[in-house]
Structure 1
Amino acid sequence: DETALANNREALWQSLLQMTPQALDLFNPGYPPSEDSGWFALAYNIKAYQSNPEVLQVALEDWARTYPNHPADPAIYKQTLEAGTFIPKDVDDIAVLLPTTGPFVEAAAAVKEAIIAAHFASNSTAQLEFYAIESDPLTGQSNVISQYDKAVASGAKVVIGPLQKSSVEQLAKYPDLPVPVIALNRVDSDSQTYSNLYQFGLAPEDDAESVAELAKLKGYKRTVILAPTGDWGQRIAKSFTKKWQSLGGSIIYSTSYDENDNDFRETLIPLMGLDQSQQRYQSLKSSLGRSMEFEPRRRQDIDFLFLVAKPLKARQLVPQLKFHRSGDLPILATSHAYSGFVDPQQNIDLNNLVITELPWVYSTIAEQDPVYIALQDQSPQNYMNNIKLYALGVDAYRLVSELNTLSRDTQAQMNGASGILSVSEQGHVVRHLLTGKFEEGELKLTQ
């Protein structure tokens, strides 16, 4: 059956692509050339040389001569090659598109500072060209298309930016981008793939998904969600819910709080199930006809609580949760709960809170990177305020040399400043964050 045979070959191919070049070389049946050894040799070439297009092309031509009638020639691997992008090994011209007017100017300045620092540290001889993105305040449309075309015409081999979501949306409508783009924001569509457009940014969805992955890793199965009202909080809660349920987790209860409040008892009592505990006590008291010693007991049907909060609210909510009998219940939160500033006195209220954060927030990791040290020396007053934007800029620059590999292999990873990075089939640069726990008011790396 031809269909079954094609499916088996596709399954074999996908399995081989999960292996390292070393493993492929080791397990290759070898000579004389056979159908089996052809599969291994082809997978080895793609995995070993995917970051060097010129060498890969020569290797594939040699492979085709060695295995002239192989069933993989050429359709089955054509898709693998086309799925990624080709950036020349020695990029000699990088264009950066950043806003020079409007609300993103300060963020753009921090990203630019980081890109320049990463460029100098790399000792690259490439030209770094900056192009100003300006938006029409009436229409919201920017000059991103004309600036992209100008960069390409000037010889850019890869483009970093733009930063504004609206400009990324404009580029997403550009048919067949001739030069790869590492955008510093995302469009809303999760599922659509855009040719040569790689969407990278500090999306809160990454934080939410990292918490869900952490909870799964810890063996948790059931949770409750506490998030603020409004678009920001609900967006994170929705993203967490989607990921958590896809991992097989259950959500027992979900509720919202008003960020303008300081006393959250009306929200926390039902969240922790203390109202049901009170009802059980009243029912028992009524049945027995007498009072008894009573201590409210929190719900026992959950493994952890997922908290969405900004720093001030997190410092208020964690102690109030303790007061409302959270006890030893693990509380997991996104990075938004932490200001990023080392202040044990202020952060003592966050003790035992577990969060996922980008690597550069942990000084033990960041201080090993000379670019971090350079930025710290350059802007001693601002570097913690800008730490996440610095990490974004540094990683965007470093992605240029890694994109060939990451875009072809969704399992491949890059240890970045903003996370452990991988590229999804849709071209999203996904940030996997690191776990930390507050102890004595300080965030400590736990993995």
Structure 2
Amino acid sequence: MLNVPIVRTPPPAEPTPPVVSRAPETLPLPRFAADGPVALLLPLSGAYAAPAAAVREGFLAAHFDAGDARELRIYDVGTTPERLLSAYQRALDEGAAFIVGPLMKESAARLATMNPPVPVLSLNHLDAGGFVPQDFFQIGLAPEDEARAAADDAAAGNLRNAVALVPEGDWGDRVLAALEGRMAQWGGRIVASARYRQGVSDQSDVIAQLMGVAASRERHRELTNALGVRTEFDARRRADIDFVFVGARATEARVLLPQFRFHRATGLPHYATSMVYDGRGDAELAGLRFCDMPFMLDTTGELAQERQQASSLSNVGAYPRLYALGRDAYAVAAALQRGGLRVGDSLDGATGMLEWGDSSTIQRRLRCAALRADGIDAGLGL
């Protein structure tokens, strides 16, 4: 456990509050006592130590920048249920008035089952339909936010019908469901979808089926057999596709996109999640649109400067988005403690426009950009 002293000369009378956009006619959330330490629970040892440290650095940066005189205590929850329980109990014993964390999804779910007696801002989302205790709030970097942003961006360009290729497993299922749900809100639909096995380079058969090229070839084969003669043939993709969505890392996207082009996807807009972007341009993926947080998309403003400065920290360079999550976690926790957030409110954060969608969950509204060889084009529109 780490006690972090705050030294300011002179200290401000009150910490600088985050700017909250107030929704009209919404019910206020319960007010929380501002006295007592804030406990930050993170897995600072074990497999997740490096990403957790990036969150810690972002939280501390925001804490100091705000001139916050409240006591902050940091607890290592490790990677086991026993360590989590021990750190949580110690935080309560030492008078924690507000808990921020934990970071990992399994730990957040376990903490929820303990029904904490103080407010919690979890740094990950609980599964839909699961038990959510009173005053258990959730923020995180859910990929579903990026899928919904892609659907919004496509709809703004009057792109209504998509084919989607996502990896096998829970992540791909969640992203696909979020994309499909938001597209339906805009009157769009996914006309075909498929899942691919990560680590397998050749996905030609799957992509040919998605694009309708396989069906085109089959129709030609049947026609050839019926006529008994060979005919000139150029396989065509299905005509009802407006854009392609690919859930992939940059290394996978570099393999998948040429296969899409081979199967007649040239000329169609392609979308992906933020996994394709590491802060640098990419000639092989030029033109690919992705949706990401302001902390990554800002190229000239204050966030870009902070990202550059933070990248020199040993624990932040590989995890800039988690650093941004730490910053936003502080802003949300501070606003909650003052009773300054209500259902329907929004807060302009480093990870996105944070929107209070229901009584416990914060979603992010993101912008999209296009990769270029020398960086990104973060302008509006397609």
Q: What are the ranges of 5 or more consecutive residues in structure 1 without an aligned counterpart?
A: 1-16, 20-42, 48-79
Aligned position for 1:413 = 346
Q: CA contact under 8 A between 1:319 and 1:349: conserved in structure 2?
A: no
Q: Deviations over 1:25-51 (max 9, x none)?
A: xxxxxxxxxxxxxxxxxx5xxx7xxxx
Q: Which SS does the other structure have where 2:238 is aligned? A: coil
2:112 aligned with 1:167: no
Aligned position for 1:74 = none
Match of 1:330 among 263, 266, 269: 269
Match of 1:207 among 136, 140, 146: 146
C-alpha distance in structure 2 between counterparts of 1:419 and 1:388, whole Å: 11
CA distance 1:314–1:185, shift in 2 (3 Å) = same
Aligned position for 2:61 = 117
Q: Which SS does the other structure have where 1:408 is aligned? A: coil
2:241 aligned with 1:297: no
Q: CA contact under 8 A between 2:53 and 2:316: conserved in structure 1?
A: no
- State the shift of 1:427 in Å: 0.9
For 1:285-434, what aligned pairs fall within 5 Å after superposition? 291-338=230-277, 340-342=278-280, 344=281, 347-364=282-299, 367-368=302-303, 371-379=306-314, 383-403=316-336, 407-410=341-344, 412-434=345-367
- State the shift of 1:300 in Å: 0.6
Q: CA contact under 8 A between 2:166 and 2:195: conserved in structure 1?
A: yes
C-alpha distance in structure 2 between counterparts of 1:143 and 1:368, whole Å: 33
Q: CA contact under 8 A between 1:118 and 1:371: conserved in structure 2?
A: no
Aligned position for 1:108 = 52
The 10-residue stretch of structure 1 (300-309 or 252-261) with the greater mean CA deviation from structure 2: 252-261
Q: Which SS does the other structure have where 1:262 is aligned? A: coil
Aligned position for 2:38 = 94
Task: Count how many residue pairs are aligned between Structure 1 and Structure 2.
Answer: 358
Match of 2:368 among 425, 428, 435: 435
The one-letter code of the counterpart of 1:417 is: A
Aligned position for 1:189 = 128
The 10-residue stretch of structure 1 (227-236 or 418-427) with the greater mean CA deviation from structure 2: 227-236
- State the shift of 1:350 in Å: 1.0
Aligned position for 2:30 = 85
Greater RCO, 1 or 2 (C-alpha within 8 Å, sep 6+): 2
CA distance 1:153–1:366, shift in 2 (3 Å) = farther
Aligned position for 2:5 = none
C-alpha distance in structure 2 between counterparts of 1:236 and 1:222, whole Å: 16
Report which of the two has the higher share of helix: 1
Q: Which SS does the other structure have where 2:264 is aligned? A: coil
Computing the radius of gyration over CA atoms, which structure comes out larger, 1 or 2? 1
- State the shift of 1:263 in Å: 2.3
C-alpha distance in structure 2 between counterparts of 1:230 and 1:368, whole Å: 34
C-alpha distance in structure 1 between counterparts of 2:366 and 2:188, whole Å: 20
CA distance 1:18–1:172, shift in 2 (3 Å) = same
The one-letter code of the counterpart of 2:294 is: P
Q: Deviations over 1:287-333 (max 9, x none)?
A: 77765543222111122122111111111111221122102111111
The one-letter code of the counterpart of 1:109 is: A
- State the shift of 1:230 in Å: 3.2
- State the shift of 1:225 in Å: 1.4
Q: CA contact under 8 A between 2:112 and 2:132: conserved in structure 1?
A: no
C-alpha distance in structure 2 between counterparts of 1:95 and 1:369, whole Å: 29
Q: Deviations over 1:1-41 (max 9, x none)?
A: xxxxxxxxxxxxxxxx953xxxxxxxxxxxxxxxxxxxxxx
The one-letter code of the counterpart of 2:263 is: H
Q: CA contact under 8 A between 2:77 and 2:83: conserved in structure 1?
A: yes
C-alpha distance in structure 2 between counterparts of 1:432 and 1:306, whole Å: 18
Aligned position for 2:17 = none
C-alpha distance in structure 2 between counterparts of 1:358 and 1:374, whole Å: 17
C-alpha distance in structure 2 between counterparts of 1:369 and 1:384, whole Å: 13
- State the shift of 1:390 in Å: 0.5
C-alpha distance in structure 1 between counterparts of 2:304 and 2:96, whole Å: 28
Q: Which SS does the other structure have where 1:325 is aligned? A: helix
CA distance 1:368–1:222, shift in 2 (3 Å) = closer
Q: Which SS does the other structure have where 1:364 is aligned? A: coil
Aligned position for 1:40 = none
CA distance 1:174–1:260, shift in 2 (3 Å) = closer
Q: What is the percent sequence identity of the aligned residues?
A: 32
C-alpha distance in structure 2 between counterparts of 1:217 and 1:157, whole Å: 44
The one-letter code of the counterpart of 2:296 is: V
CA RMSD of aligned residues (A): 2.9
C-alpha distance in structure 2 between counterparts of 1:239 and 1:142, whole Å: 34
The one-letter code of the counterpart of 1:330 is: P
2:172 aligned with 1:233: yes
C-alpha distance in structure 1 between counterparts of 2:303 and 2:199, whole Å: 40
- State the shift of 1:444 in Å: 1.8
Q: CA contact under 8 A between 2:124 and 2:141: conserved in structure 1?
A: yes
The one-letter code of the counterpart of 1:101 is: S
Aligned position for 1:272 = 211
CA distance 1:371–1:434, shift in 2 (3 Å) = same
Q: CA contact under 8 A between 1:407 and 1:427: conserved in structure 2?
A: no
